[in-house]
Structure 1
């Protein structure tokens, strides 16, 4: 799983953080939006998408979901694509190893 912290858009002073990443176990990208910290408490969880398997299958879908909160720059898009490819490859290797041991 990868996780990257994004700075909210300048006009979104109501937000503390926007987190995005790739969850190989669920086969989905995710976005978690946190509101401001209240004294003595953790930041408020405003939204969490990608908590179900396959919920956000593409970067295009992820970009659409976060456009009101933050921007994905080209470098981060490349990193997320690499995370998706790498972890998908690791999952396939792990599954292959498991099947080989069964035989």
Structure 2
């Protein structure tokens, strides 16, 4: 799994932090945007890529992230490399069981 913190856009004062990355067990890229903390609690504005294969390409994730954060030019290449770095990894037996329980066969 990778996770990169992005700088929120200046025109989005409602965004305190945005992240993007690759989730190998779910085989999806993901994007998260968080509002400023209230009472010490994180509040999620957006979370895409929490279902298996939901965001299959870096470009799909970046398209969402641009609404919340400044996206560096090299980010797509970085995310492709993140996925490639885990291409030979396989799920452990407990990951397989959990995914079946959560998402079915």
Shorter-chain TM range is 0.7 to 0.9
Q: CA deviation at 1:62?
A: 1.0
Residue deviations 1:33-84, cap 9 Å, x none?
100111x322211111000000000112112111211132133322211111
Give the TM-score normalised by the residue count of structure 1.
Answer: 0.80
Give the TM-score normalised by the residue count of structure 2.
Answer: 0.79
Q: Which runs of 5+ in 1 are unaligned?
A: 95-103
Tell me what 1:101 maps to: none
- The CA distance in 2 between the partners of 1:77 and 1:64, in whole Å, is 11
Tell me what 1:16 maps to: 16
The number of residue pairs the alignment matches comes to 92
Tell me what 1:34 maps to: 34
Higher strand share: 2
Larger Rg: 1
Residue deviations 1:4-27, cap 9 Å, x none?
111111111111100110001010
Higher helix share: 1
- The CA distance in 2 between the partners of 1:22 and 1:31, in whole Å, is 9
Tell me what 1:77 maps to: 76
Tell me what 1:57 maps to: 56
Q: CA deviation at 1:89?
A: 2.5
- Tell me whether 1:48 sits opposite 2:47 in the alignment: yes
RMSD: 1.7
